[in-house]
Structure 1
Amino acid sequence: PLIRGKYRSKPIEQIIDEAKWLDERGIKEVNIIAQDTGNYGYDIYGRRCLPDLINSLKGFKNIKWLRLLYLQPYSINDDLIESISKNDILLPYIDVPFQHASPKILHAMNRHGAGSDYLAQIAWLRRAVPNVVLRTSLIVGFPGETDDDFKELSNFVESAQFDYAGIFEYSREEGTQASTLPDMVPRDVIKERYHQLTALQDLISQKRSENRIGKAYDVLIEKRVETAIDKRDSSKIERQVDVKVENQANTGSGLFEARAWWQAPEVDGYIYVQGYEGGLKPGQIVKAQIDEFDGCDFYGRLLGGPGK
């Protein structure tokens, strides 16, 4: 929308300096994100320079994970994929906000392409990047969206089999071009479509997540959490509740919140593992086996010493 303002990139040197500053302070994960990350550098260098940036972010002592977020479909090309494959710490996690699949709705959004084009791109990504994890963002109820448009979107989600998807209801915002479009979708219809698409994606995510049970991964310890017995089944392991431990100096034992490489911060759930006396602290990367998935989060157990 117009309220975003002009696109502005930071110079590569500044980003490298920021990454080095973080590395010196023991940071393990850096996320690269912009409103249009794939368009990085075009405003100051006259071309898209994300591959150049990726190729420059190497040789760190502490940073183990680099993650790309919010890549528009048009910006994903052979050069980008090659740079991803050559950077050992860049995660095979790609966040692409496709937004919709109907060509008519995409055109109304001032976007290019169609669901069929996107499915071909997704198939190519899965061939080009082994074990790639795909996240997307989708909007339901955009002005002019008919039942057929929504069906096309649903079929697209079914075919794409995303690992994760953020699904949003269209909300009219003054100052945007969309707010002036005709054929606004009734609010109750938007909500119904939201619930239908969310239910579909939940089933897909559930199946893909359950495939991780029994496998071991490096996980990044984020924080220690208070615990409570899950009332649904008291025989299960202790579960996380919302109250966080304020004094994290007293770490080691207890229940810890962690993430694997295929979980972006704050949006893809967590892995909960039981620590041991003197064993864990935030910022560690350790090996854990996934034992359970509850529809939102994973529960696992440590397999020994630190991971990579």
Structure 2
Amino acid sequence: MKKNTIDIITLGCSKNLVDSEQLIRQLEKNGYSVTHDSETPEGEIAIINTCGFIGDAKEESINMILEFAQAKEEGRLNKLYVMGCLSERYLKELSSEIPTVDKFYGKFDWKGLLQDLGKVYDERIHIERSLTTPKHYAYLKISEGCDRNCAYCAIPIITGGHVSRPMEEILDEVKYLVSNGVKEFQVIAQELTYYGLDLYKKQMLPELIEKISDIPGVEWIRLHYAYPAHFPTDLFRVMRERKNVCKYMDIALQHISNNVLSDMRRHVSKEETYQLMEQFRKEVPGIHLRTTLMVGFPGETEADFEELKEFVKRVRFDRMGAFAYSEEEGTYSAESFEDNVPHEVKQQRLNELMAIQQEISAELSAAKIGECYKVIIDRKEGDYYIGRTEFDSPEVDPEVLILGADLNLMIGQFYQVRVTDADDFDLFAELVNE
């Protein structure tokens, strides 16, 4: 057990990661040595930043807390703190059920953790973070919470309503990160397109992205988690005109059947969704679309599922994830609908949908053979350098493998490559001498 050392473990999404990075910076400023997601935690204090989104994520968070609680009981740990979404949602229950934990904090009151350690939160460095990602890219959170209130989603229960960050503060953070070597920004929020409505009384995402793209040193901007209803169409122009705004959009669509969309309270129709997909491809040539779909929502019929399969085949998403509906207490769907699609049917539909997508992904990847792309190098593994194109977000999308026994490529630098081969997910490439 290392004195004055803290281990932080982050579970869940990149939005949680940003919170952990801010906390790490504050802890380091206060003289602590901090490790993040260490294989072998050795600190005298552990902080677990939990996820509470769906069943599997909650289970993972609980198991992690219990694992560290046992370490504390065995004398391998002095203090154990828990923060984040699960803690926000079940603060009282967790406190009584796992008393070994010294204190539970919600998603937004982790600043109190510093106080309980006898330290002070330094407001002067509130935009600063100690990155846990490779130093050439960072996640940029532009808002908290969500006002959408989709029937199945517990996020608004956990995080509350949508709160945009002031534009000046975001731009200052980008400049700070660029000065520390960051070139690529994954812009994240629970729902990007709502940005600005609370502060500026109108959707300000296009203007914000333009202003970020004006900052010298920003090489790539990639957008994550948009909503299809009332999409700010001026964003098409920004994506088309700005070279450093990646032709990439992560837009969770969930379903296509009007019956299911209505029950999900998505406020968008099948017709509008198809039209938006067409508009993306027409207005931003070459754009890569990523989406997330849900199977097994209460009342989803075979006919609804057939519509969903047809949608995937017709739109041919460049990237797609899917998951089975899991009932979340306190949500509209949990209180209004019976979870009446059997587990095995959900699983079968999920497998079927992903098999269709796998075939599409393989075809789209194969079509890239012979093409040249700009890639950023993330790391080296064995004989290969691993990079990504503008169409690939870290952790979730395909990678580009460059055989590099004789090469001396720099991590975090851009190179031109030619694709020589492809499998279902990744591309293989060779360096192009410019």
What TM-score do you get using the length of structure 1 for normalisation? 0.86
What is the CA distance between 1:157 and its match in structure 2? 1.0
The 10-residue stretch of structure 1 (171-180 or 120-129) with the greater mean CA deviation from structure 2: 171-180
Match of 1:90 in 2: 245
Please say if 1:143 is aligned against 2:272. Answer: no
CA distance in 2, matches of 1:39, 1:83: 17
Match of 2:277 in 1: 122
Please say if 1:167 is aligned against 2:322. Answer: yes
CA distance in 2, matches of 1:90, 1:36: 18
- Aligned pair partner of 1:107 in 250, 253, 262: 262
Match of 1:224 in 2: 380
What is the CA distance between 1:7 and its match in structure 2? 1.0
Match of 1:281 in 2: 410
CA distance in 2, matches of 1:95, 1:58: 18
- Aligned pair partner of 1:267 in 396, 400, 408: 396
Deviation digits for residues 217-238 of structure 1 (CA, Å, limit 9, x no counterpart) = 0001001113xxxxxxxxxxxx
Change (3 A) 1:52 1:59: closer
- Aligned pair partner of 1:6 in 157, 161, 174: 161
CA distance in 2, matches of 1:170, 1:89: 36
1:295 match: secondary structure: coil
2:312 match: secondary structure: helix
CA distance in 1, matches of 2:255, 2:355: 17
Q: CA RMSD in A?
A: 1.6
2:226 match: secondary structure: coil
- Aligned pair partner of 1:18 in 146, 150, 173: 173
Q: Is this contact kept in 2: 1:30–1:66, CA < 8 A? A: yes
1:162 match: secondary structure: coil
CA distance in 2, matches of 1:302, 1:115: 43
CA distance in 2, matches of 1:18, 1:33: 14
Deviation digits for residues 36-71 of structure 1 (CA, Å, limit 9, x no counterpart) = 101111122221110110121134443210011111
CA distance in 2, matches of 1:183, 1:137: 20
CA distance in 1, matches of 2:390, 2:250: 13
The aligned runs of 1:74-85 (5 Å cut-off) are 74-85=229-240
Please say if 1:215 is aligned against 2:371. Answer: yes
Please say if 1:189 is aligned against 2:345. Answer: yes
For the pair shown, which has the larger CA radius of gyration, 1 or 2? 2
What is the CA distance between 1:161 and its match in structure 2? 1.0
- Aligned pair partner of 1:47 in 176, 180, 202: 202
Counterpart amino acid of residue 22 in structure 1: L
What is the CA distance between 1:178 and its match in structure 2? 1.9
Deviation digits for residues 138-174 of structure 1 (CA, Å, limit 9, x no counterpart) = 0000111111111111111111111111111111122
Counterpart amino acid of residue 215 in structure 1: E
1:291 match: secondary structure: strand
Q: Is this contact kept in 2: 1:26–1:63, CA < 8 A? A: no
Change (3 A) 1:172 1:183: closer
What TM-score do you get using the length of structure 2 for normalisation? 0.62
Q: Is this contact kept in 1: 2:213–2:245, CA < 8 A? A: no
What is the CA distance between 1:107 and its match in structure 2? 1.2
CA distance in 1, matches of 2:232, 2:215: 26
What is the CA distance between 1:72 and its match in structure 2? 0.7
CA distance in 1, matches of 2:334, 2:397: 31
CA distance in 2, matches of 1:164, 1:140: 17
What is the CA distance between 1:304 and its match in structure 2? 2.4
Q: Is this contact kept in 2: 1:69–1:96, CA < 8 A? A: yes
Percent identical pairs in the alignment equals 35
Counterpart amino acid of residue 288 in structure 1: V
Match of 2:218 in 1: 63
Match of 2:420 in 1: 291
Q: Is this contact kept in 1: 2:327–2:339, CA < 8 A? A: no
Match of 2:362 in 1: 206
Unaligned runs of 5+ in 1: 227-253
More relative contact order, 1 or 2 (CA 8 Å, 6+ apart): 1
Counterpart amino acid of residue 18 in structure 1: E
Match of 1:241 in 2: none
CA distance in 1, matches of 2:430, 2:419: 7
